[in-house]
Chains A and B, each alone.
Chain A
């Protein structure tokens, strides 16, 4: 094959272009740290990478949902703590009031403290989280209990049975709220009746049955706390699961998308050597001409 001026020039240019392009590509990847910047860099890898990215975004949102849910339930739990304390105080007062030695005045004093406890419990039942009354079901713009009279003569539930359901993992949804009428049941009616009885001059033996009602109220709260605790555990388990999934997905995504730095640096070195070699070869080949030998 004859070698000609133009083909030699074209060859040199092509070698330098090829090596230059590879060098450029490797440098670009090293600078960005990414093996796939556009789908055309590796279409199959891009498909996988986008799949992982979707998974990562989804898991991040699940964790937001869970964390928001746990915050909601923590507020609920604090409310139930308060309710338990209030009811236990009410129980102590009831035990005192059931003692036949108490005078009617002393029973009325107990009745006044009961008024306070009832108001306090109503406040607890109307706890808000953000813009929502947490015990009102879906009617979160309305306080769960309407209090009439002061001291209260009737406290009525005005929420509904709606559950606040959210997605906490790909497969499962869960509610975060407890329904006020389930948590408090007849508690308010019972306490108002007890107070009225104390005000109405009831004797110790009249009061004794109310003790059973307060115990039932305490049990309702206890059951609600147990239910809530189970839910929080479930949310926390889902949170840990999502964190593990996220970690795996991040790793998988990085495997697909990111440059293997060590390999890329070695490659860069090789390409630089190749470029130097090509430049050297071209410089030598170009300086060889018959003109140097003709007189």
Chain B
């Protein structure tokens, strides 16, 4: 009996160390696989725990029955997973916001010699030139063109922002497919993990894949999740279930009645709107519906103020040919501001003069030129130029703020990822050491078998020769 138990122990050891070598090989193979957690063989001595069918008496004084290596576990800290997902959501949110705002900032291109500010300055300067030589048609022609350049730049800034919003809207719509793909895969993995683990095995690599998907999902929108008793994980997006057991709830873009031309994401199953509080989706929505619309409404205010104030003065003045009552700008806001085509066709009609038949009078042009220095109630008691400069610098501060938050959440992600890697990552030197150790142990176990074999040889072939 005793010797065959020894053989059995040695065979268990061979199996255990072979498994350890396999695990080391698996770890080494996946040293650079994203989301991989290193695996460890759980080695446990098999002792006399009373569950064996052997009686205690028969094995009194024995050391035990070798090693048990049935379980391979992944090394992972689920608390770090939780933490990094919070940071990933926030990184996704502020990176998306900062990207959108930086693009908006390029539209304005100020402070520079080519920005809207210098176009505005050139416009006011043209009015002064008309004051200096009101009789001169060249000065008037230059003025109406400076006006058209200004109007064009304002329209373009407004259109650029509209285009940027549409671009963001497409990204929002595409988010639905991205979320669905991940949710679908998590639901499938739930099923596979459940089946594998029902048999008592550990679905390590499937779990790694599922955790990676949860990381990616967290970057898109803030999620909450909980693992259930049956090894499946329930995922909530906002307050709505996204994955339950082996099923997922698809998200779909629909036209948003309250936000013309834009889509909103809803759950197909009940039409409930997806309203994330963090993640890339939140950043996109904030940029599209808050920051950029605010910018557009500021440019609109600026255009409206120019139209209203200039037209009030201009329509009271007189052109060289006695024309009066003409507005300088047509349109009602930033989308359609333009110089009155009547003036473009004949700059003599620019109403610089305060009276008919007084071509040397430029009192109206002077008033308009000095509008540049006049604080306007419609612009919060700022001048047109100050209002614009404020718009640009507030946007600059917003870009910087969003970028700062993106950077700090990036640093946090890196930091937690480093901690997570420190727990679950593969170190090749460590694996090599384990490999060498297992190899040695395997060799030793094989030697045990040889030893027992030799003992059996003695027992069988060298003893009891009496009967020969």
Contact = CB atoms under 8 A, between A and B. Distances in A.
Contacts of A130: 133, 135-136
B242 interface: no
Interface stretch (A44-52, A181-189, A277-285): A44-52
Given A40-B105, A177-B360, A294-B432, A7 B422 contact: yes
B133 A132 contact: yes
B421 to A, nearest CB: 4
A135 B426 CA distance: 94
Interface in B416-431: 417-419, 421-423, 425-430
Interface stretch (A138-146, A204-212, A216-224): A138-146
Contacts of B360: 132, 136-141, 162, 164, 177
Given A2-B425, A167-B369, A51 B128 contact: no
Given A2-B422, A6-B425, A39 B133 contact: no
A31 interface: no
Given A6-B31, A65-B131, A40 B117 contact: no
B425 A40 contact: no
A144 to B, nearest CB: 11
Interface string A32-57: 00001111111110110111011001
A148 to B, nearest CB: 22
A235 B195 CA distance: 93
A53 B463 CA distance: 111
B223 interface: no
A58 B128 CA distance: 10
B425 A46 contact: no
Greatest chain B CB density within 10 A among A37, A54, A69 is at A54
Interface stretch (A8-16, A90-98, A242-250, A261-269): A8-16
Interface string B97-126: 000001001101111100001100110110
Contacts of A164: 360-362
A3 B427 contact: yes
Contacts of A58: 121, 124, 372
Contacts of A47: 389-390, 393
A54 B383 CA distance: 11
Contacts of B112: 37
Given A4-B422, A7-B421, A131-B135, A39 B110 contact: yes
Interface string B362-406: 110010011011000000000001000110111111011001000
B266 interface: no
Contacts of B372: 58
Contacts of A257: 111
A166 interface: yes
Interface in B328-355: 353, 355
Contacts of B110: 39, 46, 50
Contact of B429 (A53, A69, A290): A290
A54 B389 contact: yes
B332 to A, nearest CB: 27
Given A14-B414, A43-B393, A38 B422 contact: no
Contacts of A160: 358
B66 interface: no
A57 B128 contact: no
A131 B132 CA distance: 12
A289 interface: yes
A154 interface: no
A1 B118 CA distance: 56
A99 interface: no
A140 B359 contact: yes
Interface string B279-320: 000000000000000000000000000000000000000001
Contacts of B414: 10, 14
A224 B432 CA distance: 104
Interface residues of B, number: 67
B368 to A, nearest CB: 12
Given A1-B422, A165-B366, A39 B105 contact: yes
Nearest to A291: B432
Contacts of A64: 125, 128-129, 132
Interface string B122-164: 1011001101110110000000000000000000000000000
Nearest to B38: A4
A5 B359 contact: no
Contacts of A9: 32
Given A4-B422, A64-B129, A139-B360, A40 B373 contact: no
Contacts of A39: 105, 108, 110-111, 392-393, 395-397, 399
A10 B418 contact: yes
Nearest to B35: A6
Nearest to B101: A40
Contact of B363 (A3, A5, A136, A165): A165
B389 A167 contact: no
A5 B31 contact: yes
A235 to B, nearest CB: 12
B433 A290 contact: yes
Contact of A54 (B121, B355, B361, B418): B121
A139 B128 contact: no
A44 B108 CA distance: 17
Contact of A57 (B125, B369, B396, B419): B125
Interface string B427-446: 11110110010000000000
Contacts of B136: 130-131
A167 B421 contact: no
Contacts of B373: 170
B126 to A, nearest CB: 9
Contact of A46 (B357, B393, B430, B433): B393
A42 B105 CA distance: 13
Interface of B: 31-32, 34, 102, 105-106, 108-112, 117-118, 121-122, 124-125, 128-129, 131-133, 135-136, 320, 353, 355, 357-363, 366, 369-370, 372-373, 385, 389-390, 392-397, 399-400, 403, 414, 417-419, 421-423, 425-430, 432-433, 436
Given A11-B418, A46-B393, 11 more contacts: A6-B426, A9-B32, A10-B418, A10-B421, A38-B106, A46-B392, A47-B390, A50-B393, A53-B117, A130-B135, A162-B361
25 contacts: A1-B419, A2-B427, A2-B430, A3-B422, A4-B421, A7-B418, A10-B421, A38-B105, A38-B399, A39-B110, A43-B393, A46-B392, A46-B396, A50-B389, A50-B393, A57-B118, A58-B121, A65-B128, A130-B136, A140-B359, A164-B360, A167-B131, A167-B370, A289-B428, A289-B429
Q: Which 6 A-B pairs have the closest CB atoms?
A: A39-B396, A4-B425, A140-B360, A57-B121, A138-B358, A7-B421
